[in-house]
Amino acid sequence: MRASRFFISTLKEAPADAEIVSHQLMMRAGMIKRLGSGIYTYMPMGLRVIRKVEAIVRDEMNRAGAVELLMPVVQPAELWQETGRWQKYGAELMRVKDRHGRDFIIQPTSEEVITDIARTEIKSYRQLPVNFYHVQTKFRDERRPRFGLMRGREFTMKDAYSFDRDAASMKVSYQIMYDAYIRIFTRFGLEFRPVAADNGAIGGSGSHEFHVIADTGEDAIVYCPTSDYAANMEAAEAAPITLPRAAPTLALTKTATPGKAKCEDVAALLAVPLNQTVKSIVLTVEKEVDGKLDKQVWLLLLRGDHDLNEVKAGKVPGLADYRFSTEAEIVEWFGTPPGYLGPINTVKPVHVVADLSVAPMSDFICGANEADFHFTGANWGRDLPEPVTFDLRNVVAGDASPDGKGVLAIQRGIEVGHVFQLGTRYSEDMKATFLDENGKPQLLQMGCYGIGVTRILGAAIEQNFDAKGIVWPVSIAPFEVVLCPMGYDRNEAVKTAADNLLAGLLEAGVDAILDDRGERPGAMFADWELIGVPHRIVIGDRGLKDGKLEYQGRQETAATAVDLTGIIAFIR
């Protein structure tokens, strides 16, 4: 490739709405262009990366025995009504009407369509197992599209769907995909971690997410460095795992006799910071008791980092998504019903009174809104006198791993892949069956497997960048090598050497680009460092006289002289 015939468009400054580094750098490197909220054009430079990601994904999917097809983006509502997801999926599902007033959706995922294909195409056990996949545009009307390609509304996903005759063989198919994912993310050259996860809106039983490790990740992962144990905190919340040991987490250590002020006792215990990433705040709320308005202190658990002032000012969107501890949870955690708590889903937060996650809780007063209902001198500490079981909601770094093989650590991750054991979640609703050896109809056992193709770009950058720009792993870089000739337009020897080298690299299968734009060296280098090309070769008149070129890796601080004749072997 020649830069003069490609399209390069770099910026000094990122637009103001680009909050995180990957979004900023992708905009500055001219990889994407915003069309609307969460909707981007993949510009030529960005598309090259996407194509490389897709190629690795396809290669490993094919190797794992999956078969590629391509399902439509627009899907009839009827299929989604069959599985109930037309109602259940909520506002993220983009619904559209055609000219006849018929309902359609723009696919956020394709379980319904693939199950429809399976129920008509798969007739006999002899056709099983089979795994179909496609790489297709998805649309999710995200509540808060942000971070560029990381949480877009329109994005590209690879989604695969396996069909098996029974649960045991479905698990085998799942394991094959799990292994393929390990190979895929290894080939991307990214640091990643598979973690146990929650099934969410997709349904089904077991699932794992694949996370690219990055401080800016939206998810918190709890894992044990000395064993295989790893889970998304989200999953830990959906299915608490009880750890049979004393709680080292924050807990009330000093209280007055918990008599009447039961509400605050419970609230105080629940108000411990759940982990580094979840903040808990106490709210004063109003609720009606016997026709009378009663003010009480309740608890709201907030996920993610939010400025308290923003919360107070009502600027945190979707507060409704956050939740009060339910009565059932309190019963589960404390063994007894919470006295006069009553149904609390109906209460409305009035104002924030304290941020328990910011200040150390020392000599805290847990007060009810009546005289004589206060505790004074409540402290949160690590020295609980008695062993107490607790669940992962309260986990902190250093706690024992549930598998007993070490201690837990917490880190942040970006969900780039997700594999699910669906079982008969879809085949039941859609009556997708096959005939077994005895001619008896059986429900198909399914699995589904997603990779956020476009999100990979953001995740790779969040993990690999420096002050100059992006640092692409070679396998997904838009170009592997850039040739920077000094005076391409005025020095015949340089021009000839550069042209020959480009031809030689391309011949050897190296994805090279020659910068023949005639830019000044400084501007030229800055562009390619921003774009993140892993290898740079400078071709200069002086070096050529000795048969030398200057090589510099993207993160190296100085160039190395390399023989012109050995440069291709050197790059490889």
CA distance 211 to 195: 7
CA distance 81 to 357: 43
157 binds ligand ATP (CB under 6 A): yes
The nearest distance, CB 178 to ligand ATP, in angstroms, is 14
The nearest distance, CB 458 to ligand ATP, in angstroms, is 8
Report the chain's terminal Cα–Cα distance, integer Å: 18
Binding mask 49-68 for Mg ion (x = CB under 5 A): --------------------
User: Quick one: which of 95, 99, 101 has its CA closest to 77?
Assistant: 95
Q: Which stretch binds ligand ATP (CB under 6 A): 115-123, 128-136, 335-343, 410-418?
A: 410-418
User: Quick one: which of 235, 211, 233, 207 has its CA closest to 222?
Assistant: 233
Residue 445 binding partner per list Mg ion, ligand ATP, none, with a CB distance cut-off of 5 to 8 Å that depends on partner kind: none
Residue 157 binding partner per list ligand ATP, Mg ion, none, with a CB distance cut-off of 5 to 8 Å that depends on partner kind: ligand ATP
* CB of 218 or CB of 399, closer to ligand ATP: 218
* CB of 218 or CB of 264, closer to ligand ATP: 218
* CB of 266 or CB of 459, closer to Mg ion: 459
* CB of 46 or CB of 452, closer to ligand ATP: 452
Residue 142 binding partner per list ligand ATP, Mg ion, none, with a CB distance cut-off of 5 to 8 Å that depends on partner kind: ligand ATP
The nearest distance, CB 408 to ligand ATP, in angstroms, is 22
The nearest distance, CB 458 to Mg ion, in angstroms, is 15
User: Quick one: which of 297, 305, 160, 152 has its CA closest to 219?
Assistant: 305
Burial letters 332-359, b for 16+ CB under 10 A, else e: ebeeeebeebeebeebebeebebbbbee
* CB of 197 or CB of 267, closer to ligand ATP: 197
Residue type, 219: D
DSSP 151-162: B-SEEEEEEEEE
67-68 vs 130-139, strand pairing mode: parallel
Q: Which two tokens stand for residue 541?
A: 């008149």
Q: Which stretch binds ligand ATP (CB under 6 A): 18-26, 119-127, 412-420, 552-560?
A: 412-420
The nearest distance, CB 299 to ligand ATP, in angstroms, is 25
148 binds ligand ATP (CB under 6 A): no
Q: Which two tokens stand for residue 135?
A: 């790489």
549 DSSP β-pair partners:
562
CA distance 457 to 6: 20
Q: Which stretch binds ligand ATP (CB under 6 A): 124-132, 148-156, 177-185, 438-446?
A: 148-156
418 binds ligand ATP (CB under 6 A): yes
- Which of 30, 46, 148, 152 lies at the binding interface for ligand ATP (CB under 6 A)? 152
* CB of 173 or CB of 199, closer to ligand ATP: 199
130-139 vs 154-164, strand pairing mode: antiparallel
Binding mask 91-120 for ligand ATP (x = CB under 6 A): ------------------x-----------
* CB of 46 or CB of 152, closer to ligand ATP: 152
The nearest distance, CB 18 to ligand ATP, in angstroms, is 16
* CB of 264 or CB of 415, closer to Mg ion: 415
User: Would you tell me how many other CB atoms lie within 10 Å of the CB of residue 25?
Assistant: 24
Q: Which two tokens stand for residue 54?
A: 């897709």
Residue 375 binding partner per list Mg ion, ligand ATP, none, with a CB distance cut-off of 5 to 8 Å that depends on partner kind: none
* CB of 21 or CB of 252, closer to ligand ATP: 21
CA distance 147 to 212: 15
Helix %, strand %, coil % for the chain, to 5?
Answer: 30, 30, 40
Q: Which helix (H) or strand (E) holds 130?
A: strand 130-139
What does R_g of the chain's alpha carbons equal in angstroms? 28
Count the residues of the shown chain that bind ligand ATP, applying the rule CB under 6 A.
16
Longest dimension (CA), the chain: 95
* CB of 145 or CB of 338, closer to ligand ATP: 145
Residue 211 binding partner per list Mg ion, ligand ATP, none, with a CB distance cut-off of 5 to 8 Å that depends on partner kind: none
Asked if residues 460 and 31 have their Cβ atoms less than 8 Å apart, the reply is no
DSSP 91-111: GGSEEEE-TT--EEEE-S--H
User: Would you tell me how many other CB atoms lie within 10 Å of the CB of residue 67?
Assistant: 12
Residue 417 binding partner per list Mg ion, ligand ATP, none, with a CB distance cut-off of 5 to 8 Å that depends on partner kind: ligand ATP
Q: Which two tokens stand for residue 553?
A: 């890796």
* CB of 119 or CB of 455, closer to ligand ATP: 455
The nearest distance, CB 110 to ligand ATP, in angstroms, is 11
- SS3 call for 40: strand
User: Would you tell me how many other CB atoms lie within 10 Å of the CB of residue 460?
Assistant: 28
* CB of 24 or CB of 454, closer to ligand ATP: 454
Binding mask 422-461 for ligand ATP (x = CB under 6 A): ----------------------------x-x-xx------
Asked if residues 28 and 529 have their Cβ atoms less than 8 Å apart, the reply is no
The nearest distance, CB 357 to Mg ion, in angstroms, is 23
CA distance 228 to 212: 16
- Which of 23, 28, 48, 151 lies at the binding interface for ligand ATP (CB under 6 A)? 151
Binding mask 410-429 for Mg ion (x = CB under 5 A): -----x--x-----------
155 binds ligand ATP (CB under 6 A): yes
Give start and end residues of each alpha helix (H) in 362-402.
none
Asked if residues 31 and 45 have their Cβ atoms less than 8 Å apart, the reply is yes
- Which of 48, 85, 134, 140 lies at the binding interface for ligand ATP (CB under 6 A)? 140
* CB of 53 or CB of 538, closer to ligand ATP: 53
CA distance 259 to 385: 20
Residues lying near Mg ion in the complex (CB under 5 A) are found at 415, 418
| Contacts with ligand ATP, residue ranges (CB under 6 A) | 109, 140, 142, 151-152, 155, 157, 200, 415-418, 450, 452, 454-455
